[in-house]
Chain A
Amino acid sequence: MSELVPEPRPKPAVPMKPIGINPNLLGYIGIDTIIEQMRKKTMKTGFDFNIMVVGQSGLGKSTLVNTLFKSQVSRKASSWNREEKIPKTVEIKAIGHVIEEGGVKMKLTVIDTPGFGDQINNENCWEPIEKYINEQYEKFLKEEVNIARKKRIPDTRVHCCLYFISPTGHSLRPLDLEFMKHLSKVVNIIPVIAKADTMTLEEKSEFKQRVRKELEVNGIEFYPQKEFDEDLEDKTENDKIRQESMPFAVVGSDKEYQVNGKRVLGRKTPWGIIEVENLNHCEFALLRDFVIRTHLQDLKEVTHNIHYETYRAKRLNDNGGLPPGEGLLGTVLPPVPATPCPTAE
């Protein structure tokens, strides 16, 4: 099975029996073939995934995204020759690419936020980001509420936000706390410790513990959120990730070096070569598996079922039960119930 096909969450209710071996087909319906059908459909239509990267400049955000998706999806601003000014306010830059693997097409959009946290006064520098995320929800809502809806609404909502923590070794910075407090309710945040090759093993585990504790004390729920675990299996798996691995301490690189006869992505220093995919060196492989190989579909689902619904309920409540006005061509709509959705709190 291709690596990028999201593993379907619900397990089949009936154990799979091979067709054709038992001529007596009593007791076997064949609904488990739906998985195969879904897979074929997904391969044909492809899917979209929007990932946002937030953090101070120079923390390796673009390099990491390029390493994650093994292609130049993010244009690095780190070329030393170019004259590069730090923008005065936070800008939002969205760049889309289509990546194909094993017959599956993914429309990947990387949303970059240059200028975050770089000024002397960083008050409210998360506001442009919050505004952007809500705008995408608004766009989707408008499409949904249209009379003549498109078959497949283009999904520009931010499914995942990688927040880059600077590896100071002490604790989170006040700006990190403020950002995550404001945005953890609106989008899935995955905190990541950037440039983790500056910390030894002990420093890394101490720092991670301190960060986890601080996030807990401040009531910040990063993805995977505890309240959205669906069943026990999810809970145990996610608990393990939440309490031991996160935040992932990563190193990114787009250069290859020869190590033991193999070409590996890494960083070459006078005291050794840091291999990006080596679990003893950094946790990049864990992050990649987490975001792409196991939880990609879940990220999209949580965004759609929870964050988007929260936004939608708030909007409808504000409008007194009526959906937003544009695009309705002046006709009277059937009233939408004013009670909020049960998931919205």
Chain B
Amino acid sequence: MGRGTQESRTSCSRSWFSPLLWASWSISAPIVPAPLFAALNFLPHQRKWGEPSGAATAIGAMDKEYVGFAALPNQLHRKSVKKGFDFTLMVAGESGLGKSTLINSLFLTNLYEDRQIPEASARLTQTLTIERRGVEIEEGGIKVKLTVVDTPGFGDSVDCSDCWLPVVRFIEEQFEQYLRDESGLNRKNIQDSRVHCCLYFISPFGRGLRPLDVAFLRAVHEKVNIIPVIGKADALMPKETQALKQKIREQLKEEEINIYQFPECDSDEDEDFKRQDAEMKESIPFAVVGSCEVVRDGGPRPVRGRHYSWGTVEVENPHHCDFLNLRRMLVQTHLQDLKEVTHDLLYEGYRARCLQSLARPGARDRASRSKLSRQSATEIPLPMLPLADTEKLIREKDEELRRMQEMLEKMQAQMQLSQAQGEQSDAL
């Protein structure tokens, strides 16, 4: 049971080690230049990692003088590769900002083939729906089960009040599901369907965040990692892009919205890497352009981009847009970190809140009573999550108890006050 726990913990990304190597984009191999390959192997914790021959000799050399647990990363890597990874990405934002195109560009898939875009009159009374699309991507022997959660209908209708509530509920449901699984008896194969990252698309046509953007971000920033993105960035001239980014950063600070903070790089990294890292952090929110079409514009080789009468926007050109930065930060270097932050910070926060609300005066007794009747061997007195309706009953009874307590306190206060007044009048 102990070993089983450890294994499942590994897949839930408790490990410090990020064995994620996107070796090369198999579909666009002719487009990716060779030097990029080396950069793709480039991860903060394991830059010197990678040659099997090296590891073998390392182990051989270690035989005589060392214990040998330096080979642990290797083992973890192999285990995780076998298990595969899952990652859930949510995209949110008004319709028409290029969300689907960007997802297709990022992961070189065609997730949205069968999508029907409804007409405006149909959208008048449409409420927000949550759609999940999954795809399995394999590269360099590593399998990733990617789930993209879409929110069509967001910001569409004339009255968008509370249109973010279904999204918040969805995120919390995933946490709840995970909490249940974690507290359950059989924890070998927990499916992690929690949302690891939310790409929030901001319109390039506005002047910063709109009231709806602020309301949505406020509602979800403590529950999911937010990466703000400016969609359709080819609508903006370079100066406008800078000004818009500045404005958005100021607004985020003003409204105290916590977006995902990319971790600081270690002090032992070289200057070049640090500079790159700083540059990338400066360009948040990322101004992106997505495209899956290949354009031959007479240059040295065909590129992915959008062709206009006045020129061609190249998706992978860092001077044109931040697509490369986004891909690097999201997929190549911080995929694991996003999962870790979701688990260690956001999920734990949810869990603490949830258990605290159950651990109010009335509930604590019940929890201790139920502990005696359970057979689990864990030391932490986790109360069994009761069924939904008994939970509601318990909550109602707790509410009543609390109300009666409050009334009692009020009456006591009143009595004291009248006593004090009585004394005063006596004194007079």
Contacts and interface: CB of A to CB of B under 8 A. Distances in A.
Interface of A: 56-60, 77-78, 80, 84, 86, 118-123, 166-178, 194-195, 197-198, 200-201, 210, 214, 217-218, 267-275, 280-281
Contacts of B158: 121-123, 174-175, 178
Contacts of B156: 173-174
A177 B312 contact: no
Given A166-B96, A195-B235, A272-B310, A174 B211 contact: no
B95 interface: yes
Contact of B121 (A59, A120, A214, A274): A214
Interface in B299-328: 306-314, 319-320
Contact of A84 (B203, B207, B237, B238): B207
B133 interface: no
B238 A171 contact: no
A68 B95 CA distance: 30
Contact of A174 (B94, B157, B314): B157
Given A169-B96, A198-B232, A271-B308, 15 more contacts: A80-B246, A118-B211, A168-B94, A174-B121, A174-B123, A176-B120, A267-B237, A269-B237, A270-B238, A270-B319, A270-B320, A271-B234, A271-B320, A273-B311, A274-B308
A56 B207 contact: no
Contacts of A214: 119-121
A170 B116 CA distance: 10
B120 A174 contact: yes
Nearest to B118: A171
Interface of B: 94-97, 117-121, 123-124, 156-161, 203-207, 210-212, 215, 232, 234-235, 237-238, 243, 246-247, 306-314, 319-320
27 contacts: A56-B205, A58-B203, A84-B207, A86-B210, A118-B211, A120-B160, A120-B161, A120-B215, A122-B158, A169-B96, A170-B96, A172-B119, A173-B123, A174-B123, A174-B157, A195-B235, A198-B235, A200-B306, A200-B308, A217-B119, A268-B237, A269-B311, A270-B320, A271-B234, A271-B320, A272-B308, A273-B311
A217 B122 CA distance: 12
Contact of A274 (B159, B160, B310): B310
Nearest to B205: A58
Nearest to B233: A198
A194 B205 CA distance: 9
Given A78-B207, A168-B95, A174 B124 contact: yes
B160 A56 contact: no
A123 B158 CA distance: 6
A181 B269 CA distance: 61
A120 B212 contact: yes
